[in-house]
A and B are shown apart, each in its own frame.
Chain A
Amino acid sequence: MKLTVRVWRQKNARREGRFAEYEVQDASPDMSFLEMLDVLNERLIRQGEEPIHFDSDCREGICGMCSCVINGEAHGPESQVTTCQTYMRSFKDGDVITVEPFRAMAFPLIKDLVVDRSALDRIIQAGGFISVTTGSAPEANSIPVSKYHSDLAMDAAACIGCGACVAACKNASANLFVAAKVAHLNLLPQGGPEKDPRVLGMVEAMTSEGFGACSVTGSCEAVCPKGIPTSFISRMNHNFLTAALKLRVHGPRG
Chain B
Amino acid sequence: MNQTSVGMNSLWKVFTTTIGKKAVMAATGGVLLLFVIAHMAGNLQMFLGWGDINNYADLLKSHREFLWPFRVFLATCLVLHVSTGSFLAIDNRRKRGHSYEVKKLVGASFASQTMWISGLIIFCFIVYHLLHFTLGVTNPEYLTFRDAHDRPDVYRMIVTAFSTAGTVCLYALGVATLGFHLSHGVRAMVESLGLRMETWASRIDKTSLVVACLLFLGFASVPLAVLMGLLQLK
Contacts and interface: CB of A to CB of B under 8 A. Distances in A.
Interface of A: 6, 8, 19, 69, 71-74, 98, 100, 103-106, 109, 128, 152, 168, 170-173, 175, 196-197, 200-201, 203-204, 206-207, 210-223, 229-231, 233-244, 247-254
B197 A235 contact: yes
26 contacts: A71-B102, A72-B100, A98-B101, A103-B97, A103-B100, A105-B96, A152-B198, A173-B18, A196-B7, A200-B8, A203-B18, A204-B8, A211-B95, A214-B191, A217-B113, A231-B196, A231-B198, A233-B191, A234-B196, A237-B193, A238-B193, A239-B194, A244-B8, A248-B9, A250-B4, A254-B3
Interface in B191-206: 191-198, 200-201
Contacts, number: 200
Q: Which 4 A-B pairs have the closest CB atoms?
A: A222-B107, A238-B194, A200-B7, A251-B6
Nearest to A237: B194
A105 B18 CA distance: 15
A249 to B, nearest CB: 6
Interface stretch (B20-28, B44-52, B134-142): B20-28
A57 to B, nearest CB: 24
Contacts of A230: 191, 196, 201
Nearest to B14: A244
A211 B18 contact: yes
Interface residues of B, number: 57
B106 A234 contact: no
B181 interface: no
A244 B107 contact: no
Interface stretch (B30-38, B125-133, B182-190): B182-190
A111 to B, nearest CB: 14
A196 B6 CA distance: 9
Interface of B: 2-11, 13-14, 16-23, 88, 91-109, 112-113, 115, 184, 187-188, 190-198, 200-201
Contact of B107 (A98, A204, A217, A241): A217
Given A244-B20, A247-B11, A215 B97 contact: no
Given A213-B88, A213-B91, A241-B193, A234 B17 contact: no
Contacts of A74: 106
Contacts of B195: 234, 238
Nearest to B21: A213
B92 A215 contact: yes
Contacts of B107: 168, 217-223
Given A212-B92, A216-B184, A216-B187, A241 B19 contact: yes
Contacts of A201: 6-7
B22 A244 contact: no
Contacts of A203: 17-19
A98 B101 CA distance: 8
Contacts of A250: 3-6
Given A203-B19, A217-B108, 6 more contacts: A71-B102, A201-B6, A204-B17, A231-B201, A241-B14, A252-B6
A175 B17 CA distance: 12
A217 B102 contact: no
Contacts of A254: 2-4
A144 to B, nearest CB: 21
B95 A173 contact: yes
B120 to A, nearest CB: 16
A213 B190 contact: no
A117 B97 CA distance: 14
Contacts of A210: 95
Nearest to B185: A216
A69, A172, A241, A250: residue with the most chain B Cβ atoms closer than 10 Å: A241
Contacts of B108: 170, 217-219, 222
A207 B95 contact: no
A105 B8 contact: no
Contacts of A219: 105-108
Contact of B104 (A72, A106, A171, A241): A72
